[in-house]
């Protein structure tokens, strides 16, 4: 009535063990490859707030990369290479200046994030990561009026709106100030013109009512920008490249 061959046949038992070991080995290889990519090439991040609305919402999942192919194939000196980020790019900024973690800790963190669907990290208490949009690059002159930035690129005689200089269109959320709001109050929607230094860029939130960006921090060094967004894969209806 029942097939007892797996129980009594050595050949069947050996076959079952081989299948089991192959499955474990295959999963282990997949896991190693996944962690190598997430630790050193690509990483997956979950948006946990609405500071980048309407472009991004809480719960959106994205793939970021720290690769800079232009630096690999360029023959010019490193200090003369094109800036790795473009105006309009969504980037991950590490304001905590977290010290570099050793490889074993990165792998352990990768395992924790892998098995918790990116919800838990062993470095959670040390992180001060923010998703922001690059508005201006080194040498640019930038100012803001009614929450919209105007940028004069380095070497240019004209200033343009942030939208005209971005590779892809985006639409920031512009707050509606109270009728008694004084424009002289900080973060009221206006900002005096500043010129960025040779190692500075300006990053902001798409929700212009949130000032946890370069309007508060000041210009940031590219060295604390860890990666840029390349793909949103969740929710499915919003899948697309950045």
As a whole number of angstroms, the distance between CA 124 and CA 46 comes to 13
Count of C-beta atoms within a 10 Å radius of residue 228: 19
What's 215's DSSP letter?
A: H
Strand spans (E) along 33-89:
42-46, 61-65
Cα separation, 115 vs 165, in Å, equals: 40
The pLDDT score that the predictor gives to residue 71 is: 41
Walk me through the domains of the chain, giving residue ranges and CATH numbers: 74-98+126-241 (2.10.109.10)
pLDDT (tens digit per residue) in 109-166: 666 766 666 566 665 555 578 999 999 999 999 999 889 999 999 888 999 999 999 9
Q: Kindly provide the residue ranges of all beta strands, DSSP E only, lying in 6-70, ordered along the sequence.
A: 42-46, 61-65
C-alpha separations of 133 from 57, 58, 167, 229 in Å: 14, 16, 12, 10
pTM: 0.72
Q: How far apart are CA 131 and CA 204, in angstroms?
A: 9
Helix (H) or strand (E) holding 128: none
The arithmetic mean of pLDDT across residues 32-38, rounded, is: 71
């Amino acid at each position: 009535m029942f097939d007892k061959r797996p129980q009594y046949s050595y050949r069947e038992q050996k076959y079952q063990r081989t299948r089991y070991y192959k499955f474990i080995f295959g999963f282990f290889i997949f896991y190693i490859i996944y962690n190598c990519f997430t630790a050193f090439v690509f990483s997956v991040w979950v948006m946990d707030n609405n500071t980048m609305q309407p472009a991004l919402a809480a719960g959106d999942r994205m793939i970021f990369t720290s690769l800079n192919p232009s630096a690999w194939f360029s023959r010019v000196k490193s200090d003369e290479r094109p800036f790795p980020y473009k105006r309009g790019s969504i980037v991950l900024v590490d304001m905590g200046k977290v010290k570099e973690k050793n490889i074993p800790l990165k792998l352990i963190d990768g395992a924790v994030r892998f098995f918790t669907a990116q919800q838990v990290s062993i470095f959670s208490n040390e992180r001060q990561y923010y998703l922001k949009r690059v508005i201006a690059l080194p040498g640019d002159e930038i100012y803001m009026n009614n929450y919209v930035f105007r940028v004069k690129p380095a070497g240019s005689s004209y200033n343009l709106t942030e939208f005209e200089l971005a590779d892809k269109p985006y639409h920031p959320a512009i707050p509606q100030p109270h009728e008694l709001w004084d424009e002289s109050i900080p973060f009221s929607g206006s900002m005096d013109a500043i010129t960025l230094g040779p190692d500075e860029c300006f990053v902001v939130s798409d929700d212009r009512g949130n000032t946890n960006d370069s309007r508060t921090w000041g210009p940031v060094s590219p060295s604390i920008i860890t990666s840029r967004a390349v793909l949103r894969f969740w929710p499915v209806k919003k899948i697309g490249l950045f």
